[in-house]
A and B are shown apart, each in its own frame.
Chain A
């Protein structure tokens, strides 16, 4: 069955008209989503907490230990001897392990061996929050990634999702591994996940996190959305790294190199 020339022309012109219509539609949709985005950032969020760690200032064992202990004691973090199943909210590790995608073959020995403090990055786009089936881990308005230890079902999905090894599963009954108990903070039970919570309880009282306080100026903490904040200043003035930026998680813990 052959087509008449007139029909053919008619169909072609419909096709062309249709293409133009869809293009216009596409442009409108594209513009619209941009507009929506603009409206979104103009919403009420004024605070986004961030941390900047001055790795050059951390020199001695004591510098690290005082910070780690301040956090772990206050939060009843159990001291578990089994190193591959321990619980830690903030800890010391090497540059090579903390930043495995960075070029490390030819860098200087000093930085290669320099210990880094690692902790939850309170990612702006946190995969751990995305995967949790019960909202036991969730993001607050001020950007803190929270962990509800009384709701967690212990599925460990979030641990598969976190690309920074920042989460801890209680492989051992945690209360049996506490040297002393801080009555102000809850202890945990077996089989739940826990991690750093950016001391939200202290921020709510107008205080800085324990680690920041114990670091005596080696860790900066503040509001990333405030252009005049100290964190913004030190980020602008120094060479800064974040862990695995290529994954799009947008970490909010920064490292001065």
Chain B
């Protein structure tokens, strides 16, 4: 089955080449950072030590966890329409977990010591748990996706010993995101994060942004690779996206209500800084409102049934929601957590070009793995179709 990844057209190889060059560039900047110091290359500082990369961790763990929204109906409720897209969701989760784990790795100041985390298991640290649940989830999705595809290739049903692993993966999906929320929500003195609704809100935003990405991918594959996962599947997923997104907005409203009705200054301050500016600092105000506007656009496009049914508006809506959540969780979550800082003043943060280039490299590596896995998936289905045609 693996050999199918090696047979592709010009565009396939060019795309891989592009990804590899981004990875190379990121590697260069990463080496630079470890030579000259994060002070020379990144926007991080004393008062904001987790920036763009840890934001990517939060966001992509969400994308990975959201596979459960597809996997669960298919295996658990036997929702046949999700047959083809389930493998896509599982492999997307594989790529997303890799992006998430690498995003943590690139922030380490002493990458050569990273094995200490495993050699000295420290259960009171959430990083230890995050690493454990993420690697388990990676293994589970790779196993389930691969075995299911392999049986498809052989024309049989997946072996029954796989069942427990599939259920395990379903349980594991939400747990990886809850643990990631726990990284942040248990820290005293970080008011923006210190909220019990962080984990549920993480799940809600993940279950909208992840499947939204899957819709875009599925529609893209239909266009460029002639691979159709089925309109019914896409329509069902778009409903999942919209419900989850509404819950996410509701949770945001709960947060804002609690902060502003209680009137506790330290709880209001991060919201004020992000949305309106604080002590004359307005760096993130336009970005936050962009996220809000994108969210509203996505909401309208996906809520109105006629718009949801048209592929163009559906794609636009899914992209809007994906970007809206990405801005809010992949970028602003870190900024709000650290601003105002522990002295209740503002030290602005802007990700630098090297930071963004390193992140691009990390995304590219994830995308590379997803591309190869998808290539294999598509080829398996293609040869099956051919077989049916020649036999028929």
Contact = CB atoms under 8 A, between A and B. Distances in A.
Interface of A: 80, 82, 84-86, 93, 97-98, 100-101, 127, 130-135, 151-157, 159-165, 168-173, 189-193, 244, 247-249
30 contacts: A84-B347, A97-B343, A97-B345, A127-B189, A132-B122, A134-B116, A135-B120, A151-B113, A152-B110, A152-B113, A153-B109, A153-B113, A153-B114, A154-B109, A155-B108, A156-B50, A156-B109, A160-B184, A160-B337, A162-B189, A164-B189, A165-B341, A171-B37, A171-B39, A171-B44, A172-B36, A189-B110, A190-B34, A191-B34, A247-B188
Given A82-B39, A162-B342, A191 B110 contact: yes
A84 B47 contact: yes
A26 B111 CA distance: 48
Interface of B: 34, 36-40, 44-47, 49-50, 104, 107-111, 113-114, 116-117, 120, 122, 124-128, 131, 183-184, 187-190, 266, 337-338, 341-345, 347
A55 to B, nearest CB: 17
Contacts of A190: 34, 37, 109
Nearest to B190: A160
Q: Helix, strand, loop or mixed for chain B's interface? A: loop
Given A161-B187, A165-B343, A84 B45 contact: yes
B188 A85 contact: no
A156 B107 contact: yes
B138 to A, nearest CB: 18
A132 B125 contact: yes
B379 to A, nearest CB: 40
Contacts of B104: 155
A133 B125 contact: yes
Given A154-B108, A155-B107, A191-B38, A134 B117 contact: yes
A93 B343 contact: yes
Contacts of A247: 188-189
A51 to B, nearest CB: 20
Contacts of B341: 165
A68 to B, nearest CB: 17
Contact of B342 (A152, A163, A171): A163
A191 B105 CA distance: 13
A70 to B, nearest CB: 22
B127 A133 contact: yes
B200 to A, nearest CB: 21
Residue among A80, A84, A133, A157 with the most chain B CB within 10 A? A133
B123 to A, nearest CB: 10
Given A154-B109, A190-B34, A159 B344 contact: no
Contact of B109 (A134, A165, A170): A170
B366 to A, nearest CB: 21
A131 B126 CA distance: 7
A161 B189 CA distance: 8
